[in-house]
Amino acid sequence: MTSVPGEQGTDGLPDYLVRLLDAAVDPPLRHRMPKATSTARRSAVLILFGQGPSGPDVLLIEKSAHLRSHAGQPAFPGGQADPGDDYPVGTALREAQEEAGIDPEGVRVLATLQELFLGPSDNLVVPVVGWWDDPRDVSVGDPREVARVARVPLADLADPANRFRVGHPSGYIGPAFAVADMLVWGFTAGLLEAILEAAGLATPWDEDDVRPLPASAIRPYALPGSVDAGGEEDAAAPTVADPAPDGPPTRTVPPR
């Protein structure tokens, strides 16, 4: 489910973002997964768009190597809900402030997307779409959790030269992006692929280009783009739900 504030609406937003919001009720996610378990932990991520020096961009972080025994994985800012959070919006904004130094007051929250269940880490994730009316420099909030913060131009994500698919030993094959010196795959790449399609920014690329994941991206069983994932249960390949589990998030932005 997606909703947009009635008072702010789409005033002043770029066309690509208006198209994304119009299509977000049924985003073009390609991969399926089971419905959420009764033990699923509620989490949220912030998909924050802005106008940067190289054009429209989206915010990504790289998880700290200290969280795993290998280099961290790219992801949207996000994490599990804390007691007292105004979930999912409050969770996404709090995590973005902690991880990337994003001032919640500077983010115009536009929509919440349907919950996506990540089976390997037992997380039920709500993507929250936001717009930076006044973008600021980004910085690592907590170096124990985040190694790097990057504003990645959407043009780089859409560039066919930066797109391919990756293969996981489990048999999973999914989208990937080589941008900002990062290999983005799994949950995050699946959402980025759907975003490009929905926003009308996708261009043809070689979907037959399938590359094996480097060993560092597979062990010790980390789920790329997940939130607070860990443990041997993450050995399974990541997926993105299509269709998403039934039912809305706990709280959504008021409908337009």
Structural domain including 134 reads 15-235
Higher pLDDT, 52 or 238: 52
CB neighbourhood size of 182 (10 A): 20
254 part of a folded domain: no
pLDDT digits (tens, 9 = 90+) for 128-173: 999 998 787 776 766 667 778 889 999 999 999 999 999 988 888 9
Is residue 27 a contact partner of residue 126, using CB atoms and an 8 Å limit?
no
Specify the pLDDT at position 178: 96
Higher pLDDT, 26 or 107: 107
Q: For Cα atoms 247, 253, 255, give the angle at the middle one, nearest 5 degrees.
A: 85
State the Cα–Cα distance between residues 225 and 211, nearest whole angstrom: 18
In a domain, 246, yes or no: no
Please indicate, yes or no, if residue 250 is contained in any of the structural domains: no
Assigned domain for 210 exists: yes
**152 within domain boundaries:** yes
In a domain, 163, yes or no: yes
| pTM of the model as a whole | 0.82
In the prediction, which pLDDT does 2 show?
46
Nearest to 136 by CA among 149, 118, 124: 149
Cα angle at 178 between 209 and 154, to 5 degrees? 110
Q: How far apart are the first and last CA of the chain?
A: 13
- The bridge status of strand 55-63 relative to strand 74-75 is antiparallel
- Tally of domains within the chain: 1
Residue 106 belongs to a domain: yes
CB atoms within 10 A of CB 179: 21
Please name which of 77, 70, 59 lies closest in space to residue 179, comparing C-alpha atoms: 59
Q: Distance between CA 95 and CA 79 in Å, rounded?
A: 6
Is residue 201, in this structure, part of any structural domain at all? yes
CATH, residue 52:
3.90.79.10
